[in-house]
Amino acid sequence: MPYEVQTPVFEGPFDLLLHLIMREQVDLYQVPLVHIVDAYLAELERLDVVDLEVATEFLLIAATLVELKARRLLPGRDDVDLDDELALWEERDLLLARLLECKTFKDAARALAALGDDAARSWPRVAGLEERFLDVAPDLLAGVTAADLKAAYLRAVAPKPTPTVSLEHLHMVRANVADAVAELVDELPRVGRISFRRLTSSLIDRLEVVVRFLALLELFKQGLVDLDQASSFGDIEVVWLGGATADGDGDEFDAFDIGDDLVTTALAGIDRYDG
């Protein structure tokens, strides 16, 4: 099936992927792989070469798509490594979560723009004081010295913002499922039963929450926790079934450890933010 990927300027990889999936209502797996990759490469070429961050993100998602697609095209095999499988699901879910988030804010932005357009049809009065009140008005320059003025001028003409190498990149999501599992195995035996909301209340970044959730699913699969969601969109109740201590978790998680590299690879999108 001929598929023309007409890409307007996309704001990022999620944007492009969202576009590919939503616009044409096309099943990505019917699109020849080469077209998807081409679309991404075309985007890559548009990018400022210096912005490695964005380029990496594009590549990561392109690679994920290729893997997802390759996996889906393969006939069902019995010898599929479960950890591979799990890693791929996790990757897909992360991608899905991010796409949903992207879509949510896209629509929210549209609504804000509409609000702004409405508001712009009504001009506020800004004429200010009539002359007769100007004498009453306090002197705005009271207490301002010539030196203050000079300082203000230097501030105004100084390059902004100060070109420091941003350290904010260092403060980034540090999360992978393996670590999250380890944390949970440490924490859950002590609390026994806890709601997911409380379990994640200290986490700021969405991805950290997502990763915790994936870690819980992993524990659930291994029969170490029970999960219960009373109503859809309701809070999820987490119950530890794995016994009183977390000793010997190394044994229990052999299967997981084998897949550790894969999980790490799968979550490269998160690890990347480690700085």
Residue 75 or 250: which CB sits closer to another protein?
75
Residue 246 or 266: which CB sits closer to another protein?
266
Give yes or no for a contact between 63 and 91, defined as CB atoms under 8 angstroms apart: no
Instruction: For the segment 101-120, give every residue that binds another protein (CB under 8 A).
Output: 101-113, 115-116, 118-120
| C-alpha 109, offset from chain centre | 17
Under rule CB under 8 A, residue 41 binds another protein = no
- Other beta carbons less than 10 A from residue 266's beta carbon: 26
Residue 184 or 246: which CB sits closer to another protein?
184
Two structure tokens written together for 186: 């440490």
Under rule CB under 8 A, residue 11 binds another protein = yes
Q: How far is the CB of 245 from another protein (least distance, A)?
A: 28
Query: DSSP letter at 139?
Result: -
**Angstrom distance (rounded) from CA 51 to CA 221:** 40
Cis peptide, bond prior to residue 161, ω within 30 of zero: yes
Q: How far is the CB of 60 from another protein (least distance, A)?
A: 10
Instruction: For the segment 152-191, give every residue that binds another protein (CB under 8 A).
Output: 152-157, 159-173
**Angstrom distance (rounded) from CA 52 to CA 95:** 20
Q: How far is the CB of 182 from another protein (least distance, A)?
A: 20
SS3 240: strand
Amino acid identity of 102?
Answer: C
Instruction: For the segment 198-237, give every residue that binds another protein (CB under 8 A).
Output: 200, 204-207, 209-210, 213-214, 217, 229, 232-233, 236
Under rule CB under 8 A, residue 122 binds another protein = yes
Under rule CB under 8 A, residue 13 binds another protein = yes
SS3 75: coil
Two structure tokens written together for 121: 């049809």
Using the rule CB under 8 A, which residue among 4, 34, 78, 145 binds another protein?
A: 145
Q: How far is the CB of 253 from another protein (least distance, A)?
A: 21
